Structure 1
Amino acid sequence: MRLYLASSFIFPRSLQLRLFAVCFVGTHLPLAAFLVWAAATGRLDVLGAIVVIAATVLGMLIAVGGIYALLAPIDLAARALNDADDGEIAQVPQLSGGDLAARLLAGVNRAAGATAERMRKLSREANVDVLTGVLNRRGLLQQLDTLSEQETTGAVALVDMDHFKLVNDLLGHETGDRVLQDFAKVLAGTVRHTDLVARWGGEEFLVYFRGATEAQAQSVLMRIAERIRNEPLAHLGERPVTFSAGTTAASRGTLDEALRRADSALYEAKHRGRARILSNAELSC
């Protein structure tokens, strides 16, 4: 580092030329001393000196080209690191052998692989609910943002576990967490792979039924309700844990309004006694 810092005033923007300058001085100092001595003592052969100087110039050009070529892998690694986009490092060509350049490029590729995996992990953690393994609110909205308006036309359902506070209070938070996990598995395992399931908050889930009608969405939720009646997730006294849901038609462009309608339907379902699925159209009934 000392020589690097000491030589930084020479070609500060080019390591290649700085290396050449150091090598040039080191190798040509004896030649310069010999020419000065020969001239001072009258032993200088002019023709011989011209040949030597011409050969020196040619060697200098070869050295410059060679230095640039040999340092190309280092320049490539530096560009890959400096051009990292949002923390993602581009892969660089792998070199055989174990010299400095090969080790450097191998290190860049290892860093690129580790960074890519870390970014994927962070993306998953940012978009997936840690407890249940389904999407979180951010993940669902991000998924919808990648789709066109036509692709996201369908139905939305807000689903809420009934009396969930009692599950935690009477059965314990560990049981409450297990109930949420099991319910998320039932939801995700029953809907189509094109539908989106997200934990919307607390014990509330959102299901986006892509391309489905509200009636189809209700039919799926009824099957899920029947399943957890036959295979209860937990019991509160003699009663199995149930859920209520509100459904409505939706599209990506009208999601906020659809959520308000679904939330109103869910609230009414709770008000009418829970353990029921109510559509927005039924609110006036």
Structure 2
Amino acid sequence: MRFYHATRWVFPRSYHLRIFAICFGAVHLPIAVFCLAELVLGQWDWAVFLPLLGATLVGTGAAIVALHAMLAPIAHATDLLRTIQRGGRVPAVPVGGEDLVGELLTGVARASAATAARITTLTDAAGKDMLTGLLNRRGFTDVAAHTLRADATSAIALLDLDHFKAINDRFGHDEGDRVLTAFARRLEAGLRKGDSAARWGGEEFAILMPETDLEDATAIIERLRLLLSLDNISAADSPALTFSCGVTALQGYQSFDAALVKADQALYAAKRGGRDRVERRR
């Protein structure tokens, strides 16, 4: 590091030019010594000087081109590191040899992989419910923003597990968490490929069904309700788990918030109507 800092006054903003300057001086040292010797001897041999000068210039040009190519991996690694520092994802890092540049590229590749893993973990934590693995409210809203089309009718449903508090009170919160997780798995298995499910909060869940009219969406929820009644996930000596649901239609993401209000109103109507039922609002 001492020599590096000692030579910083030579092209302080360009490491490439500093390397080139050092090499230029080294390549021209023989011709400088030759010129000095000729002056001391008081004679000048052009037959020797001209070939030596030509060879020096050709060697200098070749050295500059070769050094520029040799420094290219370092410049590329520096650009990749800047991308990593900004939190971005980098493309495949070139594989180097068993030398200093190879070690540098290997280090960049490891840093890139570690950064990508952290970004994935943070993204999952920001958009997913840690207990059930479903989307959380933020993740659900993000999916809706990217999925809903204004020219297509879609549907949204809010589900609430009936009498869930009694499970926590009677069997404890560990059993309640198990039931929530099991219900989330049933929910995912019963939906279509393009549908999205989220844990909206507590024992409440949300379902987004893109490009689906209200009648088809209601039929999908009714099928889920029937499957849950046939596959009880509650404790053996407790009543079968059921849910109440409110469903409504929406046109594009601009009507998302209003649709949530309608779905919530329909959900409470299902609760007031006796639970274990599906209500819809147009």
| TM-score, reference length from structure 1 | 0.85
**Structure 1 segments (4+ residues) deviating >6 Å:** none
Distance 1:8 1:151, change over 3 A: farther
Q: Which residue of 1 aligns with 2:7?
A: 7
Q: Which residue of 2 aligns with 1:141?
A: 141
| TM-score, reference length from structure 2 | 0.86
Residue pair 1:243, 1:275 contacting (<8 A) in 2 also: yes
CA distance in 2, matches of 1:219, 1:112: 46
CA distance in 2, matches of 1:54, 1:210: 74
Q: Which residue of 2 aligns with 1:128?
A: 128
Q: Which residue of 2 aligns with 1:273?
A: 274
SS in 1 for 2:77: helix
Q: CA deviation at 1:183?
A: 0.9
Q: CA deviation at 1:277?
A: 1.8
Q: Which residue of 2 aligns with 1:207?
A: 207
Residue deviations 1:15-42 (CA, integer Å, cap 9, x gap): 2221232234445456534543442243
Q: Which residue of 2 aligns with 1:87?
A: 88
CA distance in 2, matches of 1:246, 1:168: 24
Residue pair 1:144, 1:152 contacting (<8 A) in 2 also: no
Residue pair 2:148, 2:210 contacting (<8 A) in 1 also: no
Distance 1:29 1:210, change over 3 A: closer
Distance 1:66 1:15, change over 3 A: same
Q: Which residue of 2 aligns with 1:170?
A: 170
Query: Aligned-residue CA RMSD in angstroms?
Result: 2.7
Residue deviations 1:240-259 (CA, integer Å, cap 9, x gap): 33221111122333111111
Opposite residue 142 of structure 1, the aligned amino acid is D
CA distance in 1, matches of 2:215, 2:60: 82
CA distance in 2, matches of 1:200, 1:10: 62
Q: Which range moves more in the overlay, 5-14 or 33-42?
A: 33-42
Q: Which range moves more in the overlay, 241-250 or 207-216?
A: 207-216
Opposite residue 119 of structure 1, the aligned amino acid is I
CA distance in 2, matches of 1:148, 1:212: 11
Opposite residue 199 of structure 2, the aligned amino acid is R
Mark the runs of 5 or more structure 1 residues left unpaired by the alignment: none
Opposite residue 272 of structure 1, the aligned amino acid is G
CA distance in 1, matches of 2:156, 2:21: 71
Opposite residue 255 of structure 1, the aligned amino acid is F
Residue pair 2:148, 2:154 contacting (<8 A) in 1 also: no
Map residues 70-81 of structure 1 onto 2, 5 A cutoff. Answer: 70-81=70-81
**Does residue 97 of structure 2 align to residue 65 of structure 1?**
no
Map residues 10-49 of structure 1 onto 2, 5 A cutoff. Answer: 10-26=10-26, 28-29=28-29, 32-33=32-33, 35-42=35-42, 45-49=45-49
Identity rate of aligned residues, in percent? Answer: 40
Residue pair 2:27, 2:56 contacting (<8 A) in 1 also: no
**Does residue 233 of structure 2 align to residue 221 of structure 1?**
no
CA distance in 1, matches of 2:147, 2:224: 27
Q: Which residue of 2 aligns with 1:187?
A: 187
Residue pair 2:244, 2:267 contacting (<8 A) in 1 also: yes
Opposite residue 103 of structure 1, the aligned amino acid is E
Q: Which range moves more in the overlay, 28-37 or 248-257?
A: 28-37
Q: Which range moves more in the overlay, 187-196 or 208-217?
A: 208-217
Opposite residue 205 of structure 1, the aligned amino acid is F
Q: Which residue of 2 aligns with 1:156?
A: 156
How many matched pairs? 280
Residue deviations 1:154-193 (CA, integer Å, cap 9, x gap): 2211101122222222211111111111111111111211
Q: Which residue of 1 aligns with 2:259?
A: 258
Residue pair 1:159, 1:246 contacting (<8 A) in 2 also: yes
Q: CA deviation at 1:204?
A: 0.6
